[in-house]
């Protein structure tokens, strides 16, 4: 059983390493395409949003209170408030929704 786990971990490490190193070895020099450079610049934000957005609705005891916090965070972010203000505002919206609005 230990050999199977060791081989599984080694295969996962190899696959992870190859996926991360392939772009470095295949692309030589600077990318010339403006479109590709701009698309790659937004990739970290898209991945972060795809990972966190579904978890927002399951982070509280009620999806409605999580939605209230999400809406508050989006509104504060569009008003160009600081990260601390957005986080505190979303937390306050969840607190209010959990204890006063949603039974």
pLDDT tens track for 32-77: 888 888 888 888 888 888 888 888 888 888 889 999 999 999 999 9
**49 in a domain, yes or no?**
yes
Residue-number span of the structural domain to which 58 is assigned: 30-101
Burial (Cβ within 10 Å: 0-12, 13-18, ≥19) of residue 53: exposed
pTM given for the model: 0.60
Whose tokens are 């934000």? That residue is: 45
How many structural domains does the chain have?
A: 1
Q: What angle do CA 56, 60, 65 make, to 5 degrees?
A: 85
**6 in a domain, yes or no?**
no
Q: In the predicted model, what is the mean pLDDT of the chain?
A: 88
**7 in a domain, yes or no?**
no
2 — pLDDT class (breaks 50, 70, 90):
confident
pLDDT at 89: 96
Question: Residue ranges of the alpha helices (H) in the chain?
Answer: 2-26, 34-56, 63-78, 83-96
- Residue 97's H or E segment, with its range, is none
**21 in a domain, yes or no?**
no
**18 in a domain, yes or no?**
no
């Amino acid at each position: 059983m230990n050999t199977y786990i060791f081989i599984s971990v080694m295969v996962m490490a190899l696959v992870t390493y190859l996926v991360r190193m392939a772009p470095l070895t295949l692309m030589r020099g600077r990318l010339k395409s403006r479109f590709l450079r701009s698309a790659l610049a937004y990739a970290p934000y898209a991945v972060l949003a795809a990972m966190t957005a579904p978890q927002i609705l399951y982070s509280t005891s009620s999806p409605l209170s999580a939605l209230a916090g999400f809406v508050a965070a989006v509104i504060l972010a569009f008003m160009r408030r600081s990260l601390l203000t957005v986080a505190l505002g979303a937390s306050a919206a969840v607190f209010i929704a959990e204890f006063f609005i949603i039974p």
